[in-house]
Structure 1
Amino acid sequence: MYTQIPLGPLQTNAYVLYNEKKEAVLFDPGGDGAAFVNWIREQKLTPQAILLTHAHFDHIGALEEVRQAFACPVYLHEAEKQWLLDPLKNGSARMGRQPIKTKPADHLLKDEGTLKVGSFSFKLFHTPGHSPGSVSYYVADENIVFSGDALFQQGIGRTDLFGGNHELLVQSIHNKLLTLPEETIVASGHGPLTTIGQEMDHNPFLNGY
């Protein structure tokens, strides 16, 4: 079971994945920390971890507030291990916003494959291009992939920010995400849910590659 919750000034999608025991993992707490924490408590959920798809400012704006509220570890790809500490790299200093600095991630992701976090199991894909450490978390049992800003409904992530690479992003999408079953739900960092099949058929950035 999962819930999509847009947060922060850019309405970045946070996601909450939870089970019948009310155990949960949280994806990309981008802002509105107090409201997000209150919602989790109202649902009587017990967060076991915060999983970051990448470390851009609009995905980490409420990270420290949420981490402290639930004392749960943070997972991030090692390619962006300095980004939580550096407002230039995470983009907060470049966008005319309050610079964001947090504590380091508790766990640095490196290898693709199975990732076990508490009661949850994911297939981890490194999907760089939007940023060097972008990752996607696939949950076969839920038929969903949390893709961050790699793939959107009829769009892909921007690549004009620090560490971005358009060609690499398109390769990541084709070689990793489009290999998933076509009915797989794509839970993107912005906008509505879509599916792998819909993007294979209708995404203008992918057709004809």
Structure 2
Amino acid sequence: MLQVKIVPVTAFQQNCSIVWDAESKEAILIDAGGEPEKLKAEVEALGLTVKALWLTHGHLDHAGAVGALQHYWNVPVIGPQKEDAFWLDQLQEVSARYGFPIPEQVTVTQWLEGGEVLQLGQESFEVRYAPGHTPGHVMFYNAKYGVLWTGDVLFKGSIGRTDFPRGNHQQLLDSIQRECFSLPDDTQFISGHGPISTIGFEKQHNPFVAGQAG
């Protein structure tokens, strides 16, 4: 059985997801955005063995703890798509600008393109390429449990910002239509910030995209 614990980190309250197989206790972290010691303590308290770190995109608040945890656990970093390399390359500079602790550099083991299937124990996750917030943004979808990790593409009642370098508003809207709204309405999604919602709820009520499905 798939288990998930959401751990908000940093002043941005970014949702880092600890995702694990209840039988094997093998785990991955999606968007370890900061506070590596806090995340290590959570993993140890749950008795898990981390197998990989997955990244939706290269922004500081999603990747800030990845370098430190990559070295600590000696695990691969999977994602995002390679167009986000420029964000990961400037993690330390951006952290200094925001007054954050300077993170360790991230070394991506496997860039993603969309369409890949990632495994955690017996569970499969489909990679969905969803540029717009950043040019290399990806999402992770588990069809069996009907859960989508949207990063900063789609939020409850909102959508991702596109005023950062190489952001593109129309591209983001297209990504939401193609990669989020094509999923069943009862699909739950865990976004990078804020509460869990469902695809059906956003189709009806999200003021940025409601009524545009199909």
For this structure pair, what is the TM-score category when the shorter chain's length is used for normalisation? over 0.9
> Does residue 63 in structure 1 map to residue 66 in structure 2?
yes
Structure 2 match to 1:22 = 25
Which of 169, 192, 196 is the matching residue for 2:195? 192
> What SS class does the counterpart of residue 105 from structure 2 fall into?
coil
Q: Deviation per CA, 1:1-21, whole angstroms, max 9, x where unpaired?
A: 111110111110000111121
**Structure 1 regions of 5+ residues with no counterpart?**
none
| 1:181 match | 184
CA deviations 1:91-133 (Å, max 9, x no partner) are 43554545545132011112x2242235242111100100001
- Between the aligned partners of 2:120 and 2:205, the Cα distance in structure 1 is 36
Paired positions, count: 207
C-alpha distance in 2, partners of 1:41/1:101? Answer: 21
**Range with greater deviation from structure 2 (32-41 or 73-82):** 73-82
* Alpha-carbon distance in structure 1 between the residues aligned to 2:65 and 2:91: 14
Corresponding residue for residue 83 of structure 2: 79
Q: TM-score, structure 1 length as denominator?
A: 0.92
CA contact (8 A) 1:128 1:172 kept: yes
For residues 108 and 86 of structure 1, the distance between their equivalents in structure 2, rounded to whole angstroms, comes to 17
Amino acid at match of 1:83: W
Distance 1:109 1:193 in 2: 25
Measured in 2, the distance between the counterparts of 1:87 and 1:71 equals: 20
Question: Following superposition of structure 1 onto structure 2, how do residues 1-209 of structure 1 map, counting pairs within 5 Å?
Answer: 1-19=3-21, 20-76=23-79, 77-87=81-91, 91-92=94-95, 94-98=97-101, 100=103, 102-110=105-113, 112-119=114-121, 120-209=123-212
Contact 2:91-2:105 at 8 Å conserved across structures: no
RMSD: 1.8
C-alpha distance in 2 between matches for 1:135 and 1:52: 8
| Alpha-carbon separation, structure 2, partners of 1:97 and 1:207 | 36
Contact 2:12 2:61 in 1 (8 A): yes
Q: Give the TM-score normalised by structure 2.
A: 0.90
Give 4+ residue runs of structure 1 displaced > 2 Å after superposition.
Answer: 90-101, 116-120
Query: What percentage of aligned pairs have identical amino acids?
Result: 36
